[in-house]
Chain A
Amino acid sequence: MNALYLAFAYLRYHWGRSLVLTLVAALIMFVPIATQILLSTSERALVARGDATPLLLGSRGSQLDLTMAALYFSDERPDPVTMREVEAVWDSGLAVPIPVHSAFSSAGFRIVGTTLDYFDFRGLNVSDGRGLSILGDAVIGADVAQALGKGVGDSLVSSPENLFDLDGVYPLEMPIVGVLAPTNSPDDQAIFVDIKTAWVIQGIGHGHEDVVTAAEVAAGTAALSNAAVVQYQRITDANIETFHFHGSQEGFPTSAVIVVPNDVRSGTILKGRYLDSENPAQLIEPAGVIQSLVDRIFRIKSLLDAVTLIIAIAALAAIGLAVFLSYRLRAREIATAVKLGARRGMVLRLLSAETITLLSLSALIAATGAAIVSRNAEAWVGYLLALGS
């Protein structure tokens, strides 16, 4: 106890030096632990998303771009596939296809056009409001609601993707009808709409005043088109009936299609159908793509570990030198203690008590930091992964 008393008195009196040593030691302990926690959580989050998505159908090209766009709603824009591919999967009776149209955004968040199957498939629950029911409805992820300060009753406007594309991509005002419960996944960062709403944003579907009125038909002055026709930018109860799509839905685009096979056999059969490299569509297993990405990241991590190790060794050497110089400065005190009859090992006990006290404080700080990181890792990783999209 006496050694601890003296050690504490010394550390308290020289609080500035003690604080610096404690914080440096705490950082040396904290950084590798926090890095490990975040990387492990990242790996789990990435792999879990991949594992939870059995098959992904998309245009032949980069499998990584397709996976990132469909699973993480990233900025990658794989060439779209048509809804004909969705129908083909339905017709096979081997799997449930879920289209994912992620070409547009609003206020920096990706607009994901899909079907109600997506919500069941991902286990997404509405925490406020209701789910998608009519054209134009939007259900937003928890992070979107928090970041934009919007909720049920508010509205969002899609961002015009190409100002010079007069053919389409008009801004569409969408009422928010529901907010999803947080899942610490990219779904928290998405704005979900029915895929038909996405097509409206794309200009494939639209609503407008009647081009030909009954009076004009009666008067025989009906025109085929009229530049003065008002095109609606908000879908309401009053104008929803005027919204329509030109052409066959089979030809409409989607960024990707999540394919949920009935069983392993069905999945294997389906994969076989897309092996032909001449086929413009490909069916991939996102888990393999993600695992390959994670493996690459973790090869970089080993380099990071080496750098961390070198820095830790250098910092420990600096701390060791500081402690050694501190002991040298206290040689006179040690000599005095010996002359006054300090018991054998007292000096060592005193110096050890100081070192252990410092390291204990550092470990406490590092452990507290690690606990905070661990507790929030999933949320932070979800946010970081979304930042990368």
Chain B
Amino acid sequence: MITVENLTFRYSATSFGLRVPAFHLQDRERVAIVGPSGSGKTTLLNLIAGILTPEAGRIDVAGTDVATLSEVERRRFRASTIGFVFQDFALLDYLSARQNILYPYRITPALTLNAAARERAEALAAACGIGDKLDRHPTALSQGEQQRVAICRALVTQPKLILSDEATGNLDPESKSRILDLLFEQASEAGAAVLAVTHDHELLPRFERVLDFAQFRQGADA
């Protein structure tokens, strides 16, 4: 699913640098990325998603060399291939849960909002236990329910890859396990691989593989 080779990246405004000689993620694989804050975990997710572009190296996602795509192509690629789950859920308060799930269809022409997409949203919500709360706004949902909506939003476009950035960071211990199980279950049903950044070492045994990121950080002099 993902092949990263000789990747280097540096923020122009800071001394932060990242160098990843090699990284692979198989189809349907579930890999956790751990590491101290500021080690570049989120930066790697952004590079894989095409939000950032590397200085050098190759990032191949589902057979596409992301680094060689134009800005427009990267946006379309991101919308159609990748599902994002964020720590703060990133739901829109002015949309209902249903419309939050369908939000990706509203912001890009790469996706077409049709009856199938609406049915998929309903089915995902039912599978995540929020089928009866689709008309509620995020403020009327618990944190666990909000994260379920976010997971539905990440999966509704049938992506091949789920990028999860501290998806359980804001949840209580009991909810963390349930949400992670739900994410894995739904990703598995959709046939998607999961690459998750986490600080929660209690959850690591649930992943198939763990990547410690401290080794990739480069200082200003690197």
Complex interface residues of chain A between 1 and 42 (CB less than 8 A to chain B): 2, 5-6, 9-10, 12-14
Instruction: Indicate if A246 sits at the interface (CB-CB under 8 A).
Output: no
Instruction: Indicate if B47 sits at the interface (CB-CB under 8 A).
Output: no
Chain A residues whose C-beta falls within 8 Å of the C-beta of B206 in the assembled complex: none
Q: Are B107 and A9 in contact, CB atoms less than 8 angstroms apart?
A: no
Q: Are B75 and A342 in contact, CB atoms less than 8 angstroms apart?
A: yes
Nearest opposing residue in chain B for A346, CB measure: B107
Give Cα distance in the complex from A354 to B172, angstroms: 37
Give Cα distance in the complex from A20 to B72, angstroms: 38
Instruction: Indicate if A333 sits at the interface (CB-CB under 8 A).
Output: yes
Instruction: Indicate if B135 sits at the interface (CB-CB under 8 A).
Output: no
Give Cα distance in the complex from A226 to B99, angstroms: 98
Q: Are A343 and B104 in contact, CB atoms less than 8 angstroms apart?
A: no
Give Cα distance in the complex from A14 to B113, angstroms: 25
Chain A residues whose C-beta falls within 8 Å of the C-beta of B178 in the assembled complex: none
Looking at B72, B92, B104, B110, the one whose CB has the most chain A CB atoms below 10 A away is B92
Q: Are A9 and B99 in contact, CB atoms less than 8 angstroms apart?
A: yes
* A13-B94, A332-B90 known; A5+B106 contact, CB < 8 A: yes
Q: Are A10 and B94 in contact, CB atoms less than 8 angstroms apart?
A: yes
> A341's contact among B93, B94, B110, B137, by CB below 8 Å, is which?
B110
Complex interface residues of chain A between 302 and 356 (CB less than 8 A to chain B): 332-333, 336-344, 346, 350
* A13-B137, A340-B84 known; A6+B106 contact, CB < 8 A: yes
> A346's contact among B76, B88, B108, B137, by CB below 8 Å, is which?
B108
Give Cα distance in the complex from A5 to B105, angstroms: 12
Complex interface residues of chain B between 60 and 92 (CB less than 8 A to chain A): 71-72, 75-80, 82, 84, 86, 88, 90, 92
Nearest chain A CB to B222 CB, angstrom units = 27
Nearest chain B CB to A201 CB, angstrom units = 71
* A341-B78, A344-B71 known; A336+B110 contact, CB < 8 A: no
Chain B residues whose C-beta falls within 8 Å of the C-beta of A9 in the assembled complex: 94-95, 99
Chain A residues whose C-beta falls within 8 Å of the C-beta of B109 in the assembled complex: 343
Nearest opposing residue in chain A for B92, CB measure: A333
> B75's contact among A5, A10, A344, by CB below 8 Å, is which?
A344
Q: How many residues of B contact A (CB 8 A)?
A: 30
Q: Are B107 and A343 in contact, CB atoms less than 8 angstroms apart?
A: yes
Nearest chain A CB to B141 CB, angstrom units = 15
Q: Are B107 and A337 in contact, CB atoms less than 8 angstroms apart?
A: yes
Give Cα distance in the complex from A5 to B90, angstroms: 19
Q: Are A341 and B71 in contact, CB atoms less than 8 angstroms apart?
A: no
Q: Are B72 and A344 in contact, CB atoms less than 8 angstroms apart?
A: yes
Nearest chain A CB to B211 CB, angstrom units = 21
Nearest chain B CB to A332 CB, angstrom units = 7
Chain A residues whose C-beta falls within 8 Å of the C-beta of B113 in the assembled complex: 2
Give Cα distance in the complex from A10 to B86, angstroms: 22
Complex interface residues of chain B between 143 and 193 (CB less than 8 A to chain A): none
> B107's contact among A2, A10, A13, by CB below 8 Å, is which?
A2
Nearest opposing residue in chain A for B94, CB measure: A13
Give Cα distance in the complex from A14 to B94, angstroms: 8
Nearest chain A CB to B149 CB, angstrom units = 13
Chain A residues whose C-beta falls within 8 Å of the C-beta of B137 in the assembled complex: 13
Nearest opposing residue in chain A for B77, CB measure: A341
Q: Are A342 and B108 in contact, CB atoms less than 8 angstroms apart?
A: yes
Chain B residues whose C-beta falls within 8 Å of the C-beta of A336 in the assembled complex: 86, 90, 92
Q: Are A341 and B75 in contact, CB atoms less than 8 angstroms apart?
A: yes
Give Cα distance in the complex from A10 to B106, angstroms: 13
Nearest chain A CB to B191 CB, angstrom units = 20
Q: Are B107 and A340 in contact, CB atoms less than 8 angstroms apart?
A: yes
Give Cα distance in the complex from A338 to B82, angstroms: 13
Q: Are B75 and A343 in contact, CB atoms less than 8 angstroms apart?
A: yes
Give Cα distance in the complex from A333 to B106, angstroms: 13
Q: Are B76 and A341 in contact, CB atoms less than 8 angstroms apart?
A: yes
Q: Are B72 and A341 in contact, CB atoms less than 8 angstroms apart?
A: no
Give Cα distance in the complex from A36 to B64, angstroms: 63
Q: Are A341 and B90 in contact, CB atoms less than 8 angstroms apart?
A: no
Q: Are A338 and B51 in contact, CB atoms less than 8 angstroms apart?
A: yes
Instruction: Indicate if B207 sits at the interface (CB-CB under 8 A).
Output: no
Nearest opposing residue in chain A for B86, CB measure: A336
Give Cα distance in the complex from A378 to B78, angstroms: 62
> A342's contact among B86, B92, B94, B107, by CB below 8 Å, is which?
B107
Q: List 22 A-B contacts (CB under 8 A).
A: A2-B106, A2-B107, A5-B106, A6-B107, A9-B95, A10-B94, A13-B95, A14-B94, A336-B86, A336-B90, A338-B51, A339-B49, A339-B86, A339-B90, A340-B79, A340-B103, A341-B79, A341-B104, A343-B108, A344-B75, A346-B107, A350-B107
Q: Closest 7 CB pairs between A and B? A: A341-B79, A13-B94, A341-B78, A342-B107, A336-B90, A2-B106, A10-B94
Q: B residues engaging A (CB < 8 A)?
A: 49, 51, 71-72, 75-80, 82, 84, 86, 88, 90, 92-95, 99, 103-110, 113, 137
Supplied contacts A6-B107, A10-B94, A341-B78, 18 more A-B pairs, CB within 8 Å: A2-B113, A5-B106, A6-B95, A9-B94, A12-B94, A13-B93, A14-B94, A332-B90, A333-B90, A339-B49, A339-B78, A340-B78, A340-B79, A341-B77, A341-B82, A341-B104, A342-B108, A346-B108
